[in-house]
Amino acid sequence: MPGTTLSERQRKGLPSTEKTRTDTECPQGCADPMGGMRRVVEHTGDIRYAEIYGEVVADERVERYLECGICGWVVDL
């Protein structure tokens, strides 16, 4: 499954985006000829200053959502 291994950009701490097709239909009823919505995983890369009261809270941020290629509708995962 895509997203289980680190890409070269992620290993270097750079932002990256992975997109894969799914069988999920768009909630708006769009008929994408390529089929389904895209599963998008965005990695922000290394966050250098994510400290709260001297404690590191996060060192990166990852967003996951489904996106329709026709209308742009987004469904959070």
pLDDT, tens digit, 9 for 90 and up, residues 21-48: 888 888 888 877 777 888 998 887 776 6
State the Cα angle at 15 between 75 and 77, rounded to 5°. 20
Residue count (the chain): 77
- What pLDDT score does 13 carry? 64
Give 25's DSSP letter.
P
Domain ranges of the chain: 16-76
Q: Please report which confidence band the pLDDT of residue 6 belongs to, taking 50, 70 and 90 as the band edges.
A: low
**3-class SS of residue 77:** coil
Q: How far apart are CA 64 and CA 54, in angstroms?
A: 28
